Amino acid sequence: MRFPRFLRVALWLAAVPVAFAITDRDYTTNPLMQNEVRTLKEMLNYVHFNRNGLRSEDYPKLVTDYMAFLDPQRLYFTASDEQSLRRLYGPSLEDSMAINGNIDAAFRIFGLFEQRVRTRVTWVHAQLAKDIDLTTDETYTIDRSKAPWPADQAAADDLWSRRLKAELINELLNKKTVEAAKATMAKRFDRFLKNTTEVQPSEIEARFLTAFTRLYDPHSSYFSAADLDDFNVDINLHLVGIGAVLTVDEEGYCKIVSVVPGGPADLTGKVKPNDKIVAVQQDGQEAVDVVGMRNKQIVQMIRGAKGTKVTLSIIPQKAVDQSKTESVTIVRDVIKINQARASAEVYEVPDASGKISNIGVITLNSFYGENGGDTDEANRASASNDVAELITKLKQENITALILDLRRNGGGLLSEAINLSGLFIDQGPVVQVRDSAGRVSVGRDTNRAITYDGPLAILTSRFSASASEIFAGAMQNYGRAVIVGDSTTYGKGTVQVIFEMQHYLPRLARDYGKPGAAKLTTQKYYLPNGSSTQKKGVTPDIVLPSIDDYIEVGEATEPNALVWDEISSSPFEGKPLNQAFVGPLLAASKHRQDSLEEFSVLKQNIDWFRQRTEQKTVSLNLEKRRAEKQTIEATGKKFDAEFKALLTKTDFKKHEVKLDAVIKNPPPPEPPVVADGDTDADEDHEAASKFDVHLREALRVVSDAVRLADTPMWAKRAPMPAPTLPRS
């Protein structure tokens, strides 16, 4: 029997989950949002690099992705919710957005999410009031972001029972009583519920539209007006703080997005991108748990008056035990470019015969540029000028080779990557930039002067990204440098542009509030030979064993990342280093990696880390977890002690070479660092961090290169001889 259309709709609505907006905040799309949605849709169609990447049949996926944006660990929604919501909203979503600018679906889905959170938090309180058995042999999956939602309510209850046990054990392992641990957990869930119920319509819109833009690529997003203001503050670094950009991830953890080179957090050496902040403590006060707290609240707690202290409890990204936190005390200060500038050291490196060579190392953590109009010398710096000055000073130290360390360089000004390239090559293309219409522009070095024409190595890691990849890739294209480091760099080969909606909307639409902004990917980078750095990054000539290769970081790990591709080569005078030259360098390095004690310790450390990261579940038996934690801590101390011993007996001698501006305006002393645990263990960890196996090997590689190619013609690309290197 075929029912009339209105009856079919009524029957269908009866089959979907209970009312999607059981909330006293029955939000709907207002005229400002309608204009923003339609405008964003047009922008994606015309200016996004992947403008044809979304098809009509992909819109039901937007429902799933938005649900995952709200519930990333797949804990609150159920599989039946997903099926029903996709059927209800998926088929009509494209027309609703493109024609009417309507995103009521976002509000209805959020309403269901809020209902699920309310119900679950009530359930959690009831469970916390009971005794929780931590003696079973159950396990809990640590990361459920790729897992399906629980099939039904019973499956969800079982999942949540395990989650509570896992969280309770983590708190107990941090030396809390059962009562204190449960109180912390209850407060955390109450905070999450409060934050959920206080989410404003503009925030719901921004979350939904960000899920929408990320169907095109992982770097596009949508900012509410308030988010745009915060973004501008972060970019301009106007406020006193610790020098870090923060976000709250979908799990409720405050995550460090980036650390400003030379800022207070960076100077501790303990704060890294992707670390999680779980508590914030003001000087002389109790620590405050911030898991589940809103980003603005956390930022306000961390910012403060210059010279005051704040202590962060951090779960390092590389931590093998998520219950282990480190406390780092930071002295707040104004971010100063003088502390972020390039720095240099001269190392005394012996060869196999014991002959000492002076090798210069320049560390460059960002491609910073001149702040036009600023009369303060410290703020008129540029990466290329600073490196040029340091090279001049290193030459006076009679260096035989140079290393540029870009391992922590996340990018910066593309113009500075071009200018820096000009210090090492005659002239020619450095980067090609292609837009969505296929138009290609070429960024060239036009200065024929060469500042340094000797042996050069570039040290990279998986955290070398964007402009640093362009520079390293260009030097590889020209055969100007040996690239040494992790198996690949980050792989970010795209350009984002901020489009503020106030410039594109009708004036009347703005009467309903302040418009937001879209950050959209509009271009891709390509090297002079036409190869993209997107997703694949730059592959070193000599790959070193690294823990970074077992961390989920890099463009290739991002959903919907744009593909790697190639365009035509731009004519240039150069070619990659001949394998007859690179081969002996690689063979000598591999011999050292197989024979030197420092590599043996490093590889054991990596294997231990890899085994821990491959363990996808944790035990819910408290005594087993205590034993595991003791084993982890003992193993960590063993590696720290071994690195400390190596530092004592085999480290290379070195001394600093400073910029004139730094000599005139020296940075303040590094603030104290406080870490949990005993003092001896902290000293061991400090020693381990200072014993830099990758830098030591890069020094040896470039020392080998000096002996392999005894010619001043590196920058002119003269043919390189290929004698066999002695093993050392």
* CB contact set of 6 (below 8 Å; sequence gap of 6+): none
Mean predicted lDDT score pLDDT of the chain:
86
Domain assignments of the chain as residue spans, ordered by start = 5-216, 222-331, 337-495+523-716
Q: Does domain 337-495+523-716 have CATH number 3.30.70.20?
A: no
Q: What is the per-residue pLDDT across 464-474, written as a single tens digit (0 to 9) for each?
A: 999 999 999 99
- Whether pLDDT at 372 is above 80: no
Q: What is the pLDDT of residue 691?
A: 86
Q: What is the pLDDT of residue 325?
A: 79
Range of lowest pLDDT (59-63, 247-251, 469-473, 495-499): 247-251
Phi, psi of 251 (to 5 degrees): -90, 0
The sign of the CA dihedral 274, 275, 277, 283 is negative
pLDDT (0 to 100) of residue 23 = 52
pLDDT for the residue numbered 250: 62
Q: Give the model's pLDDT for residue 490.
A: 96
pLDDT score for 380: 61
Residue 254 has pLDDT above 70, yes or no: yes
Give the containing element (helix H, strand E) for 523: strand 517-526
353 versus 704: the higher-pLDDT residue is: 704
Note the pLDDT of residue 635.
Answer: 92
Give the whole-number percent of the chain exceeding pLDDT 70. Answer: 85
Residue 562 pLDDT exceeds 90:
yes
- Of residues 346 and 240, which shows the higher confidence score? 346
In tens, the pLDDT along 616-656 reads 999 999 999 999 999 998 998 999 899 989 988 777 999 99
The answer, yes or no, to whether residue 33 has pLDDT greater than 90, is yes
The predicted pLDDT at position 571 comes to 95
Averaged pLDDT, 375-402: 85
Q: What are the strands, taking DSSP E only, across 102-195?
A: 139-141
Confidence check: pLDDT of 6 > 60: no
Q: What's the mean pLDDT in 469-480? A: 97
- DSSP H or E stretch at residue 619: strand 617-619
Q: How far apart are the first and last CA of the chain?
A: 85
User: One-letter amino acid identity for 60?
Assistant: P
Q: What are phi and psi of 456, to 5 degrees?
A: -135, 135
Q: Reduced to 3 states, what is the DSSP secondary structure of residue 709?
A: coil
Angle between helices 104-128 and 59-70 (to 10 degrees): 30
Which positions ≥6 away from 527 have C-beta within 8 Å? 431, 432, 470, 473, 474, 476, 477, 533
Do 74 and 149 meet the contact criterion of CB atoms below 8 Å apart? yes
Give the pLDDT confidence of 263-280 residue by residue, as tens digits: 788 778 788 888 888 888
Torsion over CA: 459, 462, 468, 470 (sign): positive
Mean pLDDT value of segment 354-370: 90
Q: Which residues, including other chains, have CB under 8 Å from residue 287's CB and lie 6 or more apart?
A: 279, 280, 281, 311, 313
Look at residue 327 and tell me whether its pLDDT is greater than 50. yes
* Strands of the 542-543 sheet, one edge to the other: 542-543, 482-485, 456-460, 401-405, 356-363, 343-350, 653-657
Query: Is the CATH number 3.40.50.1860 carried by domain 222-331?
Result: no
Q: Is 229 helix (H, G, I), strand (E, B) or coil?
A: helix
pLDDT at 370: 67
Residues 654-696 pLDDT 10s: 999 999 988 887 765 554 444 444 444 444 445 556 789 999 9
Name the percent of the chain lying above pLDDT 90: 62
What per-residue confidence (pLDDT) applies to 719? 43
Instruction: Output 318 or 186, whichever has higher pLDDT.
Output: 186
3-state secondary structure at position 9:
helix
pLDDT at 337: 56
pLDDT value, residue 229: 76
Residue 378 pLDDT: 44
Is a pLDDT exceeding 80 seen at residue 115?
yes
Residue 668: its H or E element: none
User: What is the pLDDT at residue 662?
Assistant: 86
Top-confidence residue, 728 or 589: 589
- CA separation for the pair 489, 476 (Å, rounded): 13
Tens-place pLDDT, residues 377-386: 444 689 999 9
- Residue 338: pLDDT band by 50, 70, 90 thresholds? low
Amino acid letter, 165: K
pLDDT interval class at 513 (50, 70, 90): confident
pLDDT at position 373: 38
Categorize the per-residue pLDDT at 238 as very low, low, confident or very high, splitting at 50, 70 and 90: very low
Beta-sheet pairing, 401-405 with 356-363? parallel
The confidence score (pLDDT) of residue 715 equals 63
Across 164-168, 429-433, 706-710, least confident range: 706-710
C-alpha–C-alpha distance, residues 620 and 172, integer Å: 12
The mean pLDDT of 354-358, rounded to a whole number, is 89
pLDDT 10s digits, 202-220: 999 999 999 999 999 999 9
Instruction: Provide mean pLDDT across the span 436-451.
Output: 94
- Whole-angstrom CA distances from 577 to 162, 459, 480 are 55, 16, 8
User: What pLDDT is stored for residue 564 in this prediction?
Assistant: 97
